[in-house]
Amino acid sequence: MVLAGLVPAVRAISGLTLTTPYPAIVTSPDSRISFDLEVDASEDGRVNLEVNGVPDSWSATLLGGGSVIRAVQLNGNDPAEARLDVTIPPDATGTTRITVVASDSESRVELPLDIAVETDAGGEVSLEAETPGLRGDSDTNFTFNLQVVNDKAEDLTFTVTAVGPPGWDVEATPTGQTQAVSAVVEAGSEAGITVSVTAPENVPSDSYTILVTTTVGGEQLQQELVVEITGSYSLDLSTQTGVLSARGPSGGVTEVTFTVTNTGTAPLTNVEVAITPPNDWNVVFDPPEPIASIEAGQTAEVKAQITPSGDAIAGDYNLNFRANAEEADGTAAVRFTVEASILGALIGGALIVGAFAGLWWVFRRYGRR
């Protein structure tokens, strides 16, 4: 008697209810439907859930909080929410009743659900692209927008993947849900998919295919997207020797050979080497006309005949050369050292010799006085 008195009594949950807003649904074969469930009571406690009457070829799963569940815990104030997903096989016909049961040790509530399967109950699901092809150079970040169109009579969950050529960065997600792996497209509505594509650096000019695959309610839909790479544009300007320095006399001509290298993946057109020289300096280029085209990876030479001003003071000058094409440009800073001219050196030497001769004559004549 004493031991029996220590055993706690099992308490039934008062006011247990199990409801769904739509207990009868019409759907098509080979589909998946969902029932939103709400479990409530006037006090707290654990409520077990189960599903009865599911045909052998069907599947029914109770979900809550993103996981498969077998029970809910009530707090006596707020109802607990759950979802029942039912997968209908392709050969299903007629109306099927399944029952969801909520129970504790003393109470039991049943919720019958009717599923009518009709071959003409719903329409089709399709995958459409707003723009199936985009064009740009290899530095472009391409973005495609697609829509999952659901003409059926029930909401459907979909997932999406995208695959591009080796080395490409391709990502597909439900629009506005960058971290989501799946989303729901409502009946008679559509949901967006965003596909972001980045090509490898300096990929050759060509057309490339991106394959997008979407799984919607048991159906698999595919859409091909095309990226046309027009090429990347860049150039390098340097000297033939790679040394960015030169020297020459003031008033004299010094020739420097420049190389223009197409470092991109597409041709450069109308390439011209130019400079804004210091005052009274003269720079003449050979060839004098722009180069019509330089293919990717190729190099062209341009000679520059540099003539410093005849009055230029000996020293270093920075000459900023530019290579301009219709698609890209580049620069090269050349340090030019102006040397004293031979005539100036002779005159300077003569003046120095004359000065020493004059001093010698003065000391010679007047030194003893």
Q: In whole angstroms, what is the distance from residue 181 CA to residue 193 CA?
A: 11
Alpha-carbon torsion (344, 346, 349, 350), positive or negative: negative
Confirm whether pTM is higher than 0.85.
Answer: no
Cβ atoms within 10 Å of 273's Cβ, excluding its own: 24
Residue 118: pLDDT band (50, 70, 90) is: confident
Q: From edge to edge, which strands make up the β-sheet containing 125-129?
A: 125-129, 141-150, 189-198, 169-174
The yes-or-no verdict on residue 357 having pLDDT over 80 is no
Model pLDDT, residue 344: 57
Q: List b or e across 239-256, with b for residues whose CB sees 16 or more CB atoms inside 10 angstroms.
A: beeeebebebbbbeebeb
Residue 355's identity, in one-letter code, is: A
What does DSSP assign to residue 43? S
Phi, psi of 306 (to 5 degrees): -100, 125
Using alpha carbons, list the distances in angstroms from residue 63 to 45, 66, 72, 200, 231: 19, 6, 10, 42, 50
Please give the domain boundaries of the chain with CATH numbers for all domains.
8-117 (2.60.40.10), 125-229 (2.60.40.10), 235-342 (2.60.40.10)
**Over 60: is that where the pLDDT of 11 sits?**
no
pLDDT band at 14 (very low <50, low <70, confident <90, very high): confident
Residue 220 burial (C-beta neighbours within 10 Å; 0-12, 13-18, 19+): exposed
pLDDT category of residue 177 using cuts at 50, 70 and 90: confident
Lowest mean pLDDT among 56-65, 241-250, 253-262, 349-358: 349-358
Out of 46-55, 224-233, 315-324, which region has the weakest mean confidence (pLDDT)?
A: 224-233
> Residue 201: is its pLDDT beyond 90?
no
- Rounded average pLDDT over 30-38: 90
pLDDT digits (tens, 9 = 90+) for 337-346: 999 765 555 6
Classify residue 119 by burial, with Cβ atoms within 10 Å: 0-12, 13-18, 19+. exposed
Give yes or no for residue 362 having a pLDDT over 80: no
Strand order in the sheet with 44-52: 24-27, 108-117, 94-103, 44-52, 71-75
**Structure-token pair, residue 363:** 């000391």
| Of the candidates 88, 100, 90, 95, the residue with the CA atom closest to the CA atom of residue 35 | 100
Is 350 a residue whose pLDDT tops 50?
Answer: yes
CB under 8 A, 24+ apart: contacts of 90-94: 90/29, 90/30, 91/29, 91/57, 92/29, 92/55, 92/57, 92/58, 92/117, 93/29, 93/117, 93/119
- Read off the pLDDT band of 347 (50, 70, 90): low
